[in-house]
Structure 1
Amino acid sequence: MTSRHTLVGAITGLLYSAGWFAFQMYRLVLQGSCFANYTYLDVYTPPGPIIIIELPTAIFSLLVVIKFGWKLFKCLRKKKFTKSLYEEGNKKMCRYCDVIYVKHLLKKNHTNAEILNKTMPLYRKLFNHMTKPVPGFKFPIAMLITASVSCVFVYYITAYLALYMDTWFKPFTEYYDLITAANAIATILTFLCGMRNIYLVLINYRRDMRRLYRGDRTFIPSSLKKASPKTYMAQGMRFVGNSIVGSLWGSVFAYMVLFVPLALMMCVLRELSKAGMIHHLLNRLQWLIYPVCTIIIFKVQIVLVGKFFMQPKLDPGDKHRPLAIDNRIVYDVFTFFLVFLNASIGIIQFVKRVLLSVILGAFLIPRMDRSLLMRGYETMDKCYTNYVGMILVDVAHNHPVMRVFCHVSKDAMMRTRARATPTTENPIYGDVRNVENNHEQLSPARKRWYLIYTLLRNPQLQESRVRSKPTPPSSAVVVDVNEIELSTKSLADDMSADTLGCRLRCWKERTFTIPPNITTNIMAALVVFAILIIYVGLPLLLTNFSKLLVI
């Protein structure tokens, strides 16, 4: 697809993709006929779900065939069967998106974009809110392939797990309806969690790349900054494979963590209902008063501290009081007085910490852009180190400012060599001589670009720079190195990608906020609730069963 010989590449790609598509269609038909004629575990499985599961692969293969067919059609229509080395070199050196990115960096006025955003339709505003597009930024092909294959794997694994769980538990007719409900809930939430993880990896990749473009490496742990370049390159090579496998195993763990507690909880509730012991659950849940009291005590402590131990606001318009203690001696007395109470409350907090770490860790396995280990132990998380190595290799070879500068320098060098006189003994010195003689032929924009680059690389020259006399304003855009501001507004907005929330307005009066991480929070809450019901109801069932055995 990226070959310089477009005709050969289009024909070869079309034959290969068409053959692969034909093989997949044959395999799909053969697999459907096998499921229609044979049974698994004495249970008939209709071929419809199998075809639906395998459908994305066939669709993607068909799109590849269409792509190569369209490329062959354009090649024959334009009658251009190959590209020159000059065209291929310029295309590889600087892309159009790199030029757009650099232009956006040098653009100081963004009022037109803000006005355009206000006049956008609602669906476009929602799309921009979700993706936060950056002008000129383009994901590399490796990230797009990783995201696409990960989506297919999440779909495959979730669908196959749902199908096989439904097949395995069909003989258990008494609990089949409950297991089907648990299977449906686990399948939907696992798929949503997998898609959300892939989306957040892409958004955070773009944010981290933009920070590296600006020279900001503060988000990289100090232990990873000292690695050698060969280590970074080896880590970058492993990222794509690790990310795809992470999506696969992340979907498996998320599905099992959801399905097993939900199915057990529903079965326990049905058995308690049959035994007439459902009302005993309330008696067994009386110990929940203790964690509820801890929450109330925490809230009361916050209110009392804000009322009695903090200094008043410096300005009436301030949102919060300053972080300054008003009654220091009384504050210390109450701190030591509440030591034993806070120690007893800390038991609940540490149990909650361990439980949520296990549950959320299972849901966040595919998140290679964040380390699942605490600070100082990031080097033990090899998936995260592979991500860091990959972005460092990408920014070293695909920096848009570097690409545009190299393209401009190469273009200037080629045009200077074309103007070199044939009497010059050494073409290189001829280029230098012609640059000096023909300096006035450079455009004002190119002169300003050279000026900006020189002053940025040599800050000591800015003080001794000679300013020209002010000239009347003209229609040309003048760029001064001291007036270029590095806007961090969009970068700061993008940093909230990990906690994606949304504020919606209804009837132009009331607003409500969708909490961040809503999918993961719902899944964690369901698992905790199911574990709680199993912890309370299972001993009741065992006690009842032992009594029946004694009788």
Structure 2
Amino acid sequence: MSEPMDDDKYSNDKGSDSMTVWKQECQNYDQHFLHTSLLPAMAIILLLSLVERRRRTCACERNVSCLSGRFSIVVPVDFTSTQENRWSYAFAFGAVTQHMFTLILTISNPLPFTLPPYLEVFMYMAAAIKVGVACMPLFICLSTSHQLLGGVLGLLYAVFWFSLQMWELVWCSDSTAKKGGLRDYVFDHEWLLDLPNLLCLGFLVCRFGFQIVKDVLIWMKKLNKQDEVTKEHYKYVERLLRRPAERSVQKSWFQKNVYEWDPYFKFPNRIITTVVLSFLSLYMMILLEQVVTSYFIFYDGWHRNLTALILPSERVNYGKYIWYVTSACAAFSSLIHISQVLVYYRKQIKSLWAGEKKYLPKNYKLSPNVSLGGLLQYPGYQIAFTLWGYLILHLAMFVGGLLFVNVVVHPIVAHGFLHWLNYLIIVLANFFVVLAVTGLQRMLIHMFFLQDKNSPLDKDKPIALNNRKVFHNINYFLFFFNVILGLMSCVERLMKSIAVGLMLLSRIERTIMPRGFENLDTSYCTWLGMIVADHHHSNPVLLCFCHLLHEHTLRKVQTGEGTFLHSERREKLRARARWLLMYTLVRNPTLILMRKQAQKNKIDAEFAFAWAVANTSYTPAI
């Protein structure tokens, strides 16, 4: 009888060991996912860099014609001022958002050796490079000039990623697994975190399929290739050259106070990508927070302990309801802040295009380092400030809600509304007295201490004292009371500053520093640098001028005008230049005395000048 029991025990131990291994493999699936993607990612990067050509070639490459200029650098995404593939890049970043979160939350050592604690920053750098290499094919397949090859490779890679993500959901969703603890509870709800990733990958699959079909139609000459220059810049310049309308168009309330659509303006891919990533990151942060909170609510009962600690006699779980209500309020506030990025960007960049600098600080000086640094740092700053702003604002609202319950709700439930109202009147009586004294001061100033209006049409009285002796006496006695009033005003100012600072923490397009100290706000300087750099790289008037100048130059070269500079020999070029110089000097004799050679030999220059004047009629060249 003992042998079957031993066999059952052995089978149970073996099953538990296999279950433990299964759980560890599922928890480390993201790392295995990245390691599996590295090899095909490197192959795609090398293949696309092989088909790209460089403008400059090395001497050693000229002997092998097939490799001349090959292995050029491929650009994943251009974040300066481009507007091509804006939503495609945004969804490509959305497809890798989960891996960025994994990089931050569950960092693992990608190096084959262990680093000491004071050098762990190199481990983070290596992990970031690993994630970047694994995600790079999704971007270079969109930006490559070889659209057909990029579409095929991008489609295969996106389908490969989508299949691995679906395999994770199916393989790691075994309901018979014995899960316990916070990590397993979060792992059980991981499909909610994978949902935006799967939607973005599905969009990329469709986008690469459309890219393949479009390039095939262009190759079959059934579709014309569009010009790379955006039409919005030309439309913007055309609108500037038109006469303003005699009658102003009536705007709705939404257009006046919220947002007005501008058909002649397009946001660059950096702004679109940053906004989409901010929404997805905020969604993942809120979902992760709510999953962790639900675990503590249902399994740990932290809200009962918190409620009992703050309100010992209450049976209602105020902590639970306050947490969810403040989470919704903080999320709604963060969504508004993210949408305001689009509004403020368009408003400020159009102001700079018009030559106005009213949104820049008065003492702001353009620094190329700060501007280019803003282009590099803005997307990461905006996403990080959005997440931190939500968390800090949520915690502040939660603490404020607990204080409100402790000060307002609990006394009303325990002792009744009239008792609480009486207590509130006693507390606010001194505050009302201070307000009355402040209002009395203003009323006395207006009625007795200001002279009458100079004209009945004036809105206010002039700043001229009346009843000076009474004014000086009242000023003396109120001096001591205004000290107490100043203390209360200081507390009020501190509370207002904290409230405004918390609300504007995630909005880096507005500074929270006072005037004159804007340089201390690094995030605001990043925004200013990015705006100024975009102004220099995406001004429609400048771009249209450069494009027209480039087209005019190419047209002259194609029609044969000016081609002698490149086709003729040096002897002919030298002879032609000397002939033109002689012709110019004969037609303009005064230029002879201004030449460097004439200043060295003044006698010959004077004879040449006299000869030119005597033998030719003086007609200056145009």
Q: TM-score, normalized by length of structure 1?
A: 0.64
Residues 2-21 of structure 1: matches in 2 within 5 Å? Answer: 2-21=143-162
Kindly provide the amino acid, as one letter, of the partner of residue 107 in structure 1: R
Q: What is residue 200 of structure 2 aligned with on the other side? A: 60
Cα shift readout 1:243-277 (whole Å, capped 9, x = no counterpart): 11111111110111112332465467776578659
**Structure 1 residue identity aligned to 2:197:** T
Deviation for aligned residue 1:168: 1.3
| Superposed displacement of residue 327, structure 1 | 3.0
Structure 1 residues without counterparts, runs of 5 or longer? 431-551
Q: 2:238 corresponds to which letter in structure 1? A: K
Answer yes or no: is 1:351 the counterpart of 2:351: no
Task: Trace 1:186-201 onto structure 2 (pairs within 5 A).
Answer: 186-201=326-341
Q: Which residue does the alignment assign to 1:396? A: 536
Q: Give 2:397's aligned residue.
A: 258
Q: Give the partner amino acid of 1:3.
A: T
Structure 1 pair 38–324 and aligned structure 2 pair: CA distance change class (3 A): same
Code of the aligned partner of 1:100? K
Quote the Cα distance in structure 1 between the aligned partners of 2:514 and 2:441. 28
Task: Report the residue type matching 1:408 in the other structure.
Answer: L
- Is this contact kept in 2: 1:159–1:187, CA < 8 A? no
Q: Aligned partner of 1:367: which letter? A: R
For residue 522 of structure 1, what is the aligned residue in structure 2? none
Q: How many residue pairs get matched?
A: 414
Q: Cα deviation per residue 1:85-128 (whole Å; 9 max; x = unaligned)?
A: xx89x62xx4211111112222223358x55x56xxx7xx6367
Aligned to 2:368: 229
Larger CA deviation: 57-66 vs 189-198: 57-66
After superposition, the Cα gap between the structure-2 partners of 1:301 and 1:54, relative to the gap in structure 1 and judged at 3 Å, is: farther
Q: Secondary structure of 2:258's partner?
A: helix
Residue 376 (structure 1) aligned to one of 516, 534, 538:
516
TM-aligned CA distance change 1:417 to 1:251, over 3 Å: same
Paired with 1:203 and 1:212, the residues of 2 have a C-alpha distance of: 15
CA shift at 1:136, angstroms? 1.8
Q: Is the 8 A contact 1:104 1:135 kept in 2?
A: no
Distance 1:303 1:427 in 2: 89
Q: 1:423 to 1:141 in 2, by over 3 A?
A: closer
2: CA distance, partners of 1:423 / 1:104? 37
Aligned counterparts of 1:198 and 1:216: Cα–Cα separation in 2: 25
Between the aligned partners of 1:301 and 1:242, the Cα distance in structure 2 is 47
Alignment of 1:73-222 (within 5 A): 73-79=213-219, 91=228, 94-110=229-245, 114-115=248-249, 126=254, 129-170=257-298, 171-172=301-302, 174=304, 175=307, 177-222=317-362
Q: CA-to-partner distance for each residue in 1:483-513, whole Å, 9 max, x for gaps?
A: xxxxxxxxxxxxxxxxxxxxxxxxxxxxxxx
CA, structure 1 residues 245+42, in 2 after alignment: closer, same or farther (shift >3 Å)? closer
Q: For 1:459-538, what aligned pairs fall within 5 Å after superposition? A: none
Identical-residue share of aligned pairs (%): 24
Q: 1:364 to 1:82 in 2, by over 3 A?
A: farther
Task: Give 1:167 deviation, angstroms.
Answer: 2.3
Tell me the distance in 1 between the aligned counterparts of 2:563 and 2:391: 73
Cα distance between partner residues in 2 of 1:138 and 1:274: 55
| Secondary structure of residue in 2 paired with 1:338 | helix
Matched, 1:239 2:374: no
Distance 2:174 2:407 in 1: 39
1:127-155 deviation per Cα after TM superposition (whole angstroms, max 9, x unaligned): 67522233422211111111111111222
Superposition map of 1:30-45 within 5 A: 38-40=179-181
Q: Distance in 2 between matches of 1:53 and 1:278?
A: 45
Q: Name which of structure 1's ranges 398-407 and 371-380 shifts more when overlaid on structure 2.
A: 371-380
1:321 matched to 2:460:
yes
Pair 1:233–1:280, CA change in 2 (3 A): same
| 1:338 match | 478
Q: C-alpha separation between the residues in 1 aligned to 2:326 and 2:389?
A: 13
Whether the 8 Å CA contact 2:374–2:527 is kept in 1: the answer is yes
- Code of the residue aligned with 2:148 in structure 1: it is L
Give 1:177 deviation, angstroms: 3.5
Q: What do residues 344-392 of structure 1 show as CA deviations (whole Å, max 9, x unaligned)?
A: 2222221121122223322321111112222222222111111111111
Change (3 A) 1:326 1:260: closer
Residues 364 and 34 of structure 1: CA distance in aligned 2, closer, same or farther (over 3 Å):
farther
Kept in 1: contact 2:389–2:502 (CA 8 A): yes
Match of 1:459 in 2: none
Match of 1:466 in 2: none
Alpha carbons of 1:80 and 1:212: their partners in 2 closer, same or farther (altered >3 Å)?
A: farther
1:362 aligns with 2:491: no
TM-score (norm 2): 0.58
- Tell me, in whole angstroms, the C-alpha distance in 2 between the residues paired with 1:21 and 1:74: 23
The 2-side partners of 1:263 and 1:140 are apart by 43
SS at the partner of 1:225? coil
| Deviation by residue 1:445-479 (Cα, 9 ceiling, x = unmatched) | xxxxxxxxxxxxxxxxxxxxxxxxxxxxxxxxxxx
2:279·2:338 contact (CA, 8 Å) conserved in 1?
yes
Alignment CA distance shift 1:72-1:203 (3 Å) = same
Query: After the TM superposition, which of the residue ranges 19-28 and 66-75 deviates more from structure 2?
Result: 19-28
Contact 2:412 2:419 in 1 (8 A): no
* Amino acid corresponding to residue 181 of structure 2 in structure 1: Y
Query: CA RMSD of the aligned region, Å?
Result: 3.9
More contact order relative to length (CA 8 Å, sep ≥ 6)? 1
CA distance in 1, matches of 2:473, 2:484: 19
Contact 2:270 2:379 in 1 (8 A): yes
The residue identity in structure 1 corresponding to 2:159 is A
Contact 1:6 1:81 in 2 (8 A): no
Cα distance, 1:224 vs. partner? Answer: 3.9
| 8 A contact 1:212–1:395 mirrored in 2 | yes
Equivalent residue, structure 1, for 2:84: none
CA gap of 1:20–1:295, structure 2 versus 1, over 3 A, is farther
Query: Distance in 2 between the 1:212 and 1:250 partners?
Result: 28
In 1, Cα distance between equivalents of 2:341 and 2:562: 56
Instruction: State how far apart, in whole Å, the 1-side matches of 2:399 and 2:157 are.
Output: 43
Seen in structure 2, the aligned counterparts of structure 1 residues 296 and 153 have a Cα distance that, compared at 3 Å, is farther
